[in-house]
Structure 1
Amino acid sequence: MKLLKPTMMDVAAKAGVSQATVSLILNGSPGARFSEDTRLKVREAAQALGYRLTQRGPVQMTSAANLIVFVVDELTSDPWMALAFEGARERALERGVSMSLAVCRNANVIDDDLVRQYSQIPVVGFIYGTMLTREISSQAVFPQAPTVLLNCYDAKRRLPSVMPGDLEGGRTATQQLIDSGRKRIGFINGQEGIDASSDRLRGYRQALASNDISFDPALVYNGTWEPPSGYDGTRAFLALDTPPDAIFCANDMMAAGCYDALKEAGLRIPQDMAVIGFDNREIAQFMRPPLTSLILPHYEMGVAAADQILDIAAGLTPRHNQIKVECELIERESI
């Protein structure tokens, strides 16, 4: 009987990380941010299973295409799409392919002007990225070349997509607070109806259930992603008959408002109240105390999206229609 070779999925399962994390670590992707503990777990799992990485070289294609077009639905002061583009561009350059950036004026339908512009140019494929994690219209695709979706998805899974692991991130954040000895955990979420908010809330609830902690709706506050809602949510929690002993904020900006409310109330972080954020913005390391947070892995998502496009161009069929990239925990002094 012929033994099956171990796969990257096997390594991911043994190391307890995502397949994208295994790919990024074993490929030595520049800029990929993982702790030494995560890197060691992946390498040890690969060695124990006898997994050998198939090294990707320059893309061999029959056409003259040498360009990936990275299309975004909008550009803002937030760094996320810039990080995703940089990750994708670095990976493409490693494999001898260039990348250009285009902005779509309509968030739900690809501009006819963009379609016309690139219909005359041989391209390897398109990466279509959205600022908000969301479902996209089936019209938001390019007909003439492969398309990989980044931070968005087609509900019918007709196109491969790369997404942040928001649900697992919400579970990780909540579990971290539970492991630090906290039993009553408040959750300041983002706006209702947004995928990231829904997934992080589901992760929060799953962690509570796994530890036999009852879900209390009074401990969930729906914010706006901005500092004032972190402040208001914290004040609402402190006004409860039984306030929480920890607060999970669904992004670092709301955590900044949470800090202000706690300090105004004379409470110490983490002695009186543990706080954890999400996104790992630059501000997190400069808060006092420095904020424990989870990385929103857009750089790594860009790398994974570029790999998907380049593999398709080389004639490989993606093994998975949707890749979820791990939101790594960065431990600091707030819990």
Structure 2
Amino acid sequence: MAPQRATLLQVAQRAGVSRSTASFVLAGRHQDMRISEDARQRVLRAAQELDYRPNLMARSLRTKITKTIALVSDTIASDPYAGRVIQGSLAAAVARGHLLFIGETEGDPVIEEKLIADFLDRQVDAFLYASMFTRHVRVPKLLRDRPVVLLNCLGRSTRPGHHAVIPDEMTAGVDAARTLLEAGHRGGIHLVGHPSGGVFAARERLAGIKEGLGEAGARLAGTIDCDWWPHSAYEAVGRALAEGLELRALICLNDRIALGAYQAVGEAGLAIPDDVSVLSFDDSELAAWLRPQLTSIGLPHYRLGWQAVETLLGPSAPPVVQRVPMPVARRGSVAKPRCE
């Protein structure tokens, strides 16, 4: 049989104060109520001696505040690359004294509706609505009148209806270009990947790359079109080299593409970075495993989660899109070109 938990009345009696005084002290409102320091210390000491813990269920029924938030995502929770979004969200929630519930829908609208309804039945205070890939989403009807922050996604309206926290892909593209420019590259720079206009990250990265190169009077020499996977990149870069295309620097749209590019460059008898510099995006674990280690611009997963919770629980403000910086991890795959 579990031991009976101490009550607020027992804390008050041991401290020699009224129940309301004990309640104000434990809620941190002693200054508002002008409670003496001596009384405050007696209440805190009594609570510690009795191992007092507030009845959160009773409090939530009284205040209609449960200090819980829910993260509803498509596949973030099960993706190894994006797991730090959960870690960042959880850390920020704990820092603010909240519990974080996590639900995954696998993109199924029926599961999503039931999941959100279950969270609402449990009186969850607020929601993070998250996507594995940055994209435009339609906020579910059940959430439209609730406190919601979009995490790694945007509303479909041009005017933000909800706060959104996304990676700053545009600036990341600029930084990619500047990294190569600072190493001395001006020509022979090729983009590797399929820069589909329908993929938010690809579109933003490409726009940033063009802007960054344009600032120095440079431009992309071309695009080596391939899927965002190693084998497709390996074949596409291999064909380009076999056809005699002059490759001096490759900007790969993700680290998996870079892996395929590494293999093709090596099989062609060329060295990275002596003959071809390679730069990428995502800064996954793969980037540090490659030899030479890959210069890559990281997705700020942890910071995205943290910032989304801070925004959700922070002061009320008009909705805006917050773009979180993407750090450049400079490694051994970029060097000064041999000649121009």
Measured against the shorter chain, the TM-score band is 0.7 to 0.9
Q: Is the Cα–Cα contact under 8 Å of residues 110 and 142 in structure 1 kept in the other structure?
A: no
Which of residues 166, 185, 195 in structure 1 aligns to 2:189? Answer: 185
Which of residues 247, 253, 260 in structure 1 aligns to 2:256? Answer: 253
TM-score normalized by the length of structure 2: 0.74
Other-structure match for 2:75 = 74
Other-structure match for 2:169 = 166
Other-structure match for 2:266 = 263
1:63 is displaced (CA, Å) by 3.4
In 1, Cα distance between the equivalents of 2:79 and 2:116? 27
Other-structure match for 2:321 = 322
TM-score normalized by the length of structure 1: 0.75
Deviation digits for residues 296-321 of structure 1, max 9, x if unmatched? Answer: 1111100000001111xxxx223651
The range that moved more, 129-138 or 139-148, is 139-148
> Aligned AA for 1:246?
A
1:242 is displaced (CA, Å) by 4.8
Cα distance change on mapping 1:77 and 1:123 into 2, 3 Å: closer
1:284 is displaced (CA, Å) by 1.0
In 1, Cα distance between the equivalents of 2:209 and 2:236? 16
* Paired residue secondary structure (1:207): helix
Q: Is the Cα–Cα contact under 8 Å of residues 252 and 281 in structure 1 kept in the other structure?
A: yes
Deviation digits for residues 230-256 of structure 1, max 9, x if unmatched? Answer: 213322432455512100111111101
> Aligned AA for 2:69?
I
Gaps of 5+ in 1: 1-60
Other-structure match for 2:333 = 334
Is residue 227 of structure 2 the alignment partner of residue 228 of structure 1? Answer: no
* Paired residue secondary structure (1:229): helix
Is residue 92 of structure 2 the alignment partner of residue 95 of structure 1? Answer: no
In 2, Cα distance between the equivalents of 1:253 and 1:76? 21
* Paired residue secondary structure (2:143): coil
Other-structure match for 1:211 = 216
Deviation digits for residues 72-96 of structure 1, max 9, x if unmatched? Answer: 1125763244211110110110110
1:104 is displaced (CA, Å) by 1.9
Aligned residues: 269
Which of residues 187, 197, 206 in structure 2 aligns to 1:201? Answer: 206
Q: Is the Cα–Cα contact under 8 Å of residues 80 and 131 in structure 1 kept in the other structure?
A: no
In 2, Cα distance between the equivalents of 1:187 and 1:125? 41
Cα distance change on mapping 1:325 and 1:83 into 2, 3 Å: same
Q: Is the Cα–Cα contact under 8 Å of residues 152 and 163 in structure 1 kept in the other structure?
A: yes
Q: Is the Cα–Cα contact under 8 Å of residues 108 and 137 in structure 1 kept in the other structure?
A: no
Tell me which of the two structures has the higher relative contact order, counting C-alpha pairs closer than 8 angstroms and 6 or more residues apart: 1
1:207 is displaced (CA, Å) by 1.4
Percent identity (aligned): 30
1:182 is displaced (CA, Å) by 1.2
1:110 is displaced (CA, Å) by 7.2
Q: Is the Cα–Cα contact under 8 Å of residues 119 and 144 in structure 1 kept in the other structure?
A: no
1:229 is displaced (CA, Å) by 2.4
Other-structure match for 1:47 = none
Other-structure match for 1:128 = 129
* Paired residue secondary structure (1:332): coil
In 2, Cα distance between the equivalents of 1:296 and 1:140? 30
In 2, Cα distance between the equivalents of 1:198 and 1:95? 36
Is residue 266 of structure 2 the alignment partner of residue 281 of structure 1? Answer: no
Deviation digits for residues 4-25 of structure 1, max 9, x if unmatched? Answer: xxxxxxxxxxxxxxxxxxxxxx
Cα distance change on mapping 1:215 and 1:259 into 2, 3 Å: closer
In 1, Cα distance between the equivalents of 2:205 and 2:108? 24
Cα distance change on mapping 1:107 and 1:206 into 2, 3 Å: farther
In 1, Cα distance between the equivalents of 2:149 and 2:108? 16
In 2, Cα distance between the equivalents of 1:251 and 1:215? 17
* Paired residue secondary structure (2:100): strand
* Paired residue secondary structure (1:277): strand
Gaps of 5+ in 2: 1-59, 335-340
1:288 is displaced (CA, Å) by 0.7
In 2, Cα distance between the equivalents of 1:161 and 1:196? 15
1:162 is displaced (CA, Å) by 0.6
